[in-house]
Structure 1
């Protein structure tokens, strides 16, 4: 019996290592190519964000106006002039941002829990509830300004039909802030609702079914099973909404213009008045710098919260 001998498998020769100088040149080329790809984005960021920021800080040290070309260096006088207004407007801004965050959060949470249940036509209901979020803020502002109007508003018409006294909602300090918060809540609760509803859709069904088998009621299942999963994401949503409301301008400006008096005068509206009512660019820039510092503290709190929540998960 003939035995055939197979030739040993051929081994491909390993590629010879490149010289050290050639490896360094390839690494330098990769870095150069990466810098070339990032250069347009960096240039755009410098033009759009960094340059206006530095120009605003520089302008805050000058007595500069929109109605005269010359300007004069005055140091920290602008900061001294706007500091009392900044403290007052900061309190108003915090009140607005707090209530404009809590109210949509509560409404969105309640509707998300309701729409998470098996309801007939819940798909259509979800689509209808998204409509307020799709409208621009200015449109929503004019809509609610018409509803709260003291002369021809829908709400006062309803009060008249019920033989109740009319209320000047936007003309009284006690009700103007509440009216703006209601309008803001109506505009932003769909976003909160969608986020919470998406989280509820990802809850482990096994835990909910096990709790139901053990005899837990719907309230107990929500408090002890669903709510612990919602706390982290909802806290982040609330912080993001607070940061957004801290710089909100359009709704307050359209509905009240900061009035009556200064009851709804936030930092954004105050900066606008300094720049385009008093034509003082220097004081507007100083107010903007102080506003930026306050907002940086809020953003720092957000990052700390986010870091703690990530460490727990």
Structure 2
């Protein structure tokens, strides 16, 4: 065998050895993924085809019965509540975060201090934030009612968390206070990548602030804004702690979203089959959102 042929064989063996080593390196991670993610996921999907009570042993196969019950009873109100909460808790903090990012990017005095101050709501645990706003919205001694009564904007205390017309608004306000800081940081990072020469040229051409925003600023941050909005939408679509602590899905199921409904069915109604079937439908909707996110990410990479 020639020296060139021998070198090729050795190169092939070395490449094969490197590939095998790479597979061996990924095996622990794959095993952990299969144990804590894949197996529970598949097991729960299978459970959706059974009638299973957490208080009783055994289970009974019902096929698509759980799914039929869900689609025939409360699926559409739950979907509507989830979409209302998700849309409100995504658009409101985005508008606030964008406004603050523009203000901080303009070189406002004390911008560094304000940036750190605005990040404060983001670092507080979600349950703590929920209890804080529960106190603010309290009908008897809440800060919000006290301020509105003193200014004469309301004539009597409002039960913000106890009325179907205001409960969802209160939950969205609470989630907005938690979410706007990270959106502000993401958009501010995008704004700081824009060349200042573009704004200077637009100003020389006579463009005002609004014109410069739509002609220069927004096209420059449109991609990061789209990804930020989509990520926030996905996270809000599966949000649980704020809603559960503030209202528990009430009043009159006015804030009952997928996350709350799955928890209630499993751990209050003890109907594991019904809960996992609802979770399966919820997961399908989330997979659609994830597919859109991956598509946007791939477009940006290309």
TM exceeding 0.5: yes
For the aligned pair, the TM-score class normalised by the smaller chain equals over 0.9
Match of 2:257 among 260, 266, 285: 266
Structure 1 unaligned spans of 5+? 1-14
Is 1:131–2:116 an aligned residue pair?
Answer: no
Is 1:142–2:111 an aligned residue pair?
Answer: no
Alpha-carbon separation, structure 2, partners of 1:54 and 1:284: 14
Query: Which residue does the alignment assign to 2:193?
Result: 202
Alpha-carbon separation, structure 2, partners of 1:303 and 1:273: 31
Structure 2 unaligned spans of 5+? none
Is 1:159–2:143 an aligned residue pair?
Answer: no
Query: Which residue does the alignment assign to 1:52?
Result: 40
Alpha-carbon separation, structure 1, partners of 2:4 and 2:148: 89
Query: Which residue does the alignment assign to 1:232?
Result: 223
Which range is displaced more, 59-68 or 260-269?
59-68
Is 1:115–2:95 an aligned residue pair?
Answer: no
The total of aligned residue pairs comes to: 298
State how 1:1-313 maps to structure 2 within 5 Å.
17-18=5-6, 21-83=9-71, 84-163=73-152, 164=154, 165-309=156-300
Alpha-carbon separation, structure 2, partners of 1:144 and 1:46: 39
TM-score (norm 2): 0.94
Which range is displaced more, 205-214 or 169-178?
205-214
Which range is displaced more, 127-136 or 80-89?
80-89
Alpha-carbon separation, structure 1, partners of 2:263 and 2:194: 45
The 3-state SS of whatever aligns with 1:67 is: coil
Query: Which residue does the alignment assign to 1:12?
Result: none
Note the aligned Cα RMSD (angstroms): 1.7
Q: Could you list the runs of 4 or more consecutive aligned residues of structure 1 that deviate by over 3 angstroms after TM superposition?
A: 19-24, 304-311
Higher Cα radius of gyration = 1
